Every structure is written in C-alpha cells, then in structure tokens.
Amino acid sequence: MVRSLHGAGTVIDTNSVQTHIVDVAAQIGQVCQRWNKRRATYRPTGEPFDPSRCSVQPIEEAQAKTFVVSMHYSGTYPAARFRAGVFIKERFARERLAGVGVFSVPMNQKVVPRYFPGLAPNEGIELGRLVLADELAANAESWALARMRRLLAKALPEVRGIVAYCDPVERRNELGELVKRGHIGTIYKASNAAYRGRSSSRTLWMAPNGATFADRMLSKLRGGESGERYAYERLADHDAPSLKIGETGAAYLKRLQADGWLRPLRHPGNFVFTFQQQ
C-alpha cells in the first residue's frame, strides 16, 4: 500500500502491489469509475444503463481534447488517430457530450509489434483515453467501447490490433485524499480483451494534488530539449512554483524535487490488454 504522502523526498512505495491489487479488485467489483472536472467519481455496478437515449459518434479533435483535458485527472491528451464521443439526448433538450474515447499513437514504435507479431506500427493503435462523465450509469463502458471499435474499423480499416493499459496504483493528494483509484481492467475483461502482463516498472513524479509526471517528460527540462515547453505548461497547470529569472530547466526541476513539490513514486507497471480488431 502507499506510505506517507508527506515530507520532502518521501518515496511512495508500491512494492506490496499484490496486496494493493486485491484491495483494488474489491473496490472495482462494487463501482464503475467516472470523471468530473479531473476528479474520479464512481457509480454502483448494480444500476441499469439505458442506451436508448445515447449514441456514439466520431468527433473532431478540438471537441475531444477539451472534454478529456477538463475531465481526466491527468489533464493530458494523447496523440490521437481517431476520436469518438458518447452523446446523451434527453427529450426536449439539446444533445450533449458525456464521454470520449481516444485511439492514439502508442508511446513508441515497438509496442504494436511486441503485442501483435507481424503487424507494422501503424496497423495497431492504443486506447489512450476512455473518459465517461459521472452522469452515465454503470455498464456504459462496454456498450460505448464496442461501438467505438466499430467506428474505428470504418475510419481506420488498416488497424488490426488495439493495446489498452490500466493503472493499478491509486493516486492521493498531499492531504491523503483519494484522487484516483487503481484499476485492474474489469472493463477490458468484460469486452473480451486478452490480458498480456505488465508494462515496464518506472519512476513517476507526483505533485501535491496527486497528478503524476513521467521522468521522460521531465527530462526535456533537464536537457532543454524539444518538448520542454509542454513540460513547463503541464507543471504550471498543476500550480507548480514559478521558474525563477535566469534559472535553467535542470535547476528548476532539481528545486521542485528538493523542496518536495515533486515526490518520487515507484510504479510497478500498468496492466496490458489487447483487442483483435476486425
């Protein structure tokens, strides 16, 4: 389980991940995750989902990005290749967006061939985000995902495999308040995905509000590399202390870590699931 979240230099330990996963499984068995303004919310699994007032449609980049960034706890949006939205239409009311699925480019070119031998990188895709608003009842995920995959097949017929990740490690802010529960892939199992093990373990850096930053992204600051502007923007978006006049990116990052604004989180790796796409 997670150790103390307080104090500069505190390492958040996830070595006892098997115990943690059991706890997560118990939680997921009772609720379905939703999102509202970057905070996770939950619906009871026993409630019925009525699809008669919902539809799934392809949507434009701007609409998808606005929804995902405003709702998902990470505040980030992947490099999308295809986007679909879940729309609700009530009687005498305008149709409104209540969920988004983003099928994106994997983090590196080796992902697709690793899980789908024989496929070229562009013949696979990642389910980068599946974000549903908290007004959608339980069991909406599998219904929405099935329809998103059908739309994906029409839009990108060359795609024959989908990789999806779920994070079993919860996030808490510096007050110990739960920001995001861990996941064990219940929705993917319900959608007949194949479990493929875990991704590589790594170190993340956690802000006081529970947001995490990959070391790979922060390395852009250390080296002044292309992409450092995005790293600065993400830090600022989560209320990081300002860059001082004349301070280098490397010095700035070192200060955030030394002051405890960024705390290391040892992550054991995400669970990996794959779908065969027709």
pLDDT score at 19: 35
pTM assigned to the model? 0.77
**pLDDT reading at 14 higher than 70:** no
- Which of the residue ranges 65-69, 129-133, 258-262 would you say has the lowest mean pLDDT? 129-133
- Looking at residue 41, its pLDDT comes to 62
Instruction: Summarize the confidence of residues 259-271 as an average pLDDT.
Output: 91
Whether 6 is covered by a domain: the verdict is: no
Number of folded domains that form the chain: 1
pLDDT level of residue 24 (50, 70, 90 thresholds): very low
pLDDT reported for residue 202: 87
Mean predicted confidence (pLDDT) in 25-40 = 55
Between helix 228-237 and helix 215-223 the angle, nearest 10°, is: 120
Residue 192 and residue 267: Cα distance in Å, rounded? 26
What's the rounded Cα separation, in Å, for the pair 34 and 40?
6
Is the alpha carbon torsion for 93, 56, 133, 100 positive or negative? Answer: negative
Higher model confidence: residue 3 or residue 231? 231
Confidence bin at 25 (pLDDT 50/70/90): very low
47 pLDDT more than 80: no
pLDDT for residue 77 is more than 60: yes
Rounded Cα distance between 158 and 264, Å, is 40
Which residues span the domain enclosing 187?
17-198+270-276
Percent of the chain with pLDDT over 70: 82
pLDDT at position 181 is 74
Predicted local confidence at residue 155, as pLDDT: 97
Nearest by Cα to 185 from 130, 146, 136: 130
* Exposure string for 97-111, b = 16+ CB within 10 A, e = fewer: bbbbbbbbbbeeeeb
When computed from its CA atoms, the radius of gyration of the chain, rounded to whole angstroms, is 19
Work out the mean pLDDT of the chain and round it to a whole number: 81
Residues composing the chain: 278
pLDDT of residue 46: 64
pLDDT, average across residues 62-89: 89
Let me know if residue 10 belongs to a domain: no
Whether residue 213 is contained in a domain is answered as no
Beta strand 271-276 with 161-166 is antiparallel
Q: What would the pLDDT profile of 197-246 be if each residue is shown by its tens digit?
A: 998 888 889 999 888 888 888 888 887 777 788 888 888 888 999 999 99
- Flag whether 100 is in a domain: yes
Plot region of 21 (φ>0 → left; ψ -120 to 50 → alpha; else → beta): alpha
Mean pLDDT, range 171-190, rounded to an integer: 79
Please report, for the domain that includes residue 144, its CATH number.
Answer: 3.40.630.30
Helices (H), the chain: 17-28, 61-71, 111-115, 140-155, 186-190, 215-223, 228-237, 249-258
The residue with greater pLDDT, 75 or 114, is: 114
Confidence of residue 76 (pLDDT cuts 50, 70, 90): confident
Would you say residue 237 lies in a domain?
Answer: no
Q: Residue 9 falls within a domain, yes or no?
A: no
In a domain, 108, yes or no: yes
Residue 167 lies in a domain: yes
Task: Please report the pLDDT score of residue 214 as a whole number.
Answer: 85
